[in-house]
Structure 1
Amino acid sequence: MSGPHGDDIHTDPIRDDLGWMLGVLFRAHLRGAEHTVGDLPGGPRGYQVLVAADRDPARNQGAIAEELGIDRTVLTYLIDDLERDGLLSRRPDPADRRSRLVVVTDAGRAAARQRREALRDVETRLMSALTDEEAATLRGLLRRAACAAQQADPLTDLCAVAEVVADPPPSRRRPATRATRSGTTRRTAEP
């Protein structure tokens, strides 16, 4: 089988490139996700926050930020918008009065459930070239590869999300760089 330039497509380097394959699937998934969850505050990220908040026990913003890999400041704005729309609420943490737990409301749970079903349709279309068994195998392989890649990332452990662990992931703090009076930088632990 030949490509547009007479090349055998089975030896075309771009078609064997993992980045190209993941990029095509990611862009197609993103377009579908934007269409199905774009009406939520924050779009796909807002949806992820709703899903992350819909777990027991409830967690604080820091745990959700770490779990989703979202900057804490960005997450604060997302939660503000979701709270304004009545999809999330914040309540004091009984274990630490300085902390606030993020809790999904009934309206937020219903909104997430509706979008989850729509996203399943998007994923079904993306996987339409595969049998059900192949699609399940691909998901399993991608989950395993993603978890292995995540373990190599020293910032957070998002595999707990993929494995649906109810407990918040352990806090991993990365070194922050701080300038000294002499203009050099030194590593310090982030608070």
Structure 2
Amino acid sequence: MVRSTSASRPPASEAEGHPDALVGACAAQAEPGDLGWALAVLLRAHARSADRVLQDLPGGARAFRLLSAVEQGQPNQLALAQASGLDKTVVTYLLDDLAGAGLIERRPDPNDRRARRIVLTPAGVERLADFHTRLDRVEDHLFDGLPAAEVTELRRLLQRAAGRVREHDPTTCAHVAALAADLPG
């Protein structure tokens, strides 16, 4: 792989006057094979577009992650926090907003009188399907111009890599439990 030298890159001062200086500077320093740059560009574009298409959802993209976790059958707030990667306190506030919007309900857990199960309401199911459709269009736009087979392969590889990272992420409960088991005492 051939990489350009720093001498071939424009100095940062040339990009500073540009209204989108950060993106301009990143684009000017892009190199073939620079995975971090490519992921950052895609992530920023996805995040901006997702924010726009989810603007009518109380809590935006974070609330969408919660609704998706509810849809996947996460049984309670703690499981939702873990599945969505959100702080438990944030989850509480988001669930309050989603309940206020009529998208979820907190129901008594038949197995634990102290606990509440979080379930989608019929309106929540309908809205979540609409949000999935909107985000599908965002992703289609991001990958416009790539053959469908390549997009499918890219998604598969990214999911596999993300799963491995999540599996080995030191902030996950499974990893912390394994480390704790190795401690003397």
Instruction: Give the 3-state SS of the residue equivalent to 1:22 in structure 2.
Output: helix
- Distance in 2 (alpha carbons) for counterparts of 1:152 and 1:172: 9
What displacement does 1:115 show?
1.2
Of stretches 147-156 and 122-131 in structure 1, the one that deviates more from structure 2 is 147-156
Instruction: Give the 3-state SS of the residue equivalent to 2:44 in structure 1.
Output: helix
Query: Equivalent of 1:143, from 159, 179, 183?
Result: 159
What displacement does 1:49 show?
1.0
Report the equivalent of 1:45.
Answer: 62
Query: Equivalent of 2:137, from 121, 132, 135?
Result: 121
Supply the AA of the counterpart residue of 1:17. D
Instruction: Give the 3-state SS of the residue equivalent to 1:97 in structure 2.
Output: strand
- TM-score, structure 1 normalization: 0.73
Encode CA deviations 1:57-76: one digit per residue, 9 max, x unaligned: x5100001001111000000
Change (3 A) 1:108 1:73: same
Query: Equivalent of 1:91, from 86, 90, 107?
Result: 107
Instruction: Give the 3-state SS of the residue equivalent to 1:89 in structure 2.
Output: strand
- Distance in 2 (alpha carbons) for counterparts of 1:25 and 1:89: 34
Alpha-carbon contact 2:54-2:60 (below 8 Å) kept: yes
Unaligned runs of 5+ in 1: 157-170, 176-186
What displacement does 1:98 show?
1.5
1:28 aligns to 2:45 (yes or no):
yes
Alpha-carbon contact 2:105-2:121 (below 8 Å) kept: yes
- TM-score, structure 2 normalization: 0.76
Instruction: Give the 3-state SS of the residue equivalent to 2:102 in structure 1.
Output: coil
Change (3 A) 1:54 1:13: closer
Alpha-carbon contact 1:15-1:21 (below 8 Å) kept: no
Report the equivalent of 1:61.
Answer: 77
Alpha-carbon contact 1:53-1:64 (below 8 Å) kept: yes
When you count helix as a share of all residues, which structure comes out higher? 2
What displacement does 1:94 show?
1.1
Alpha-carbon contact 2:169-2:175 (below 8 Å) kept: no
- Distance in 2 (alpha carbons) for counterparts of 1:155 and 1:6: 40
- Distance in 1 (alpha carbons) for counterparts of 2:150 and 2:175: 38
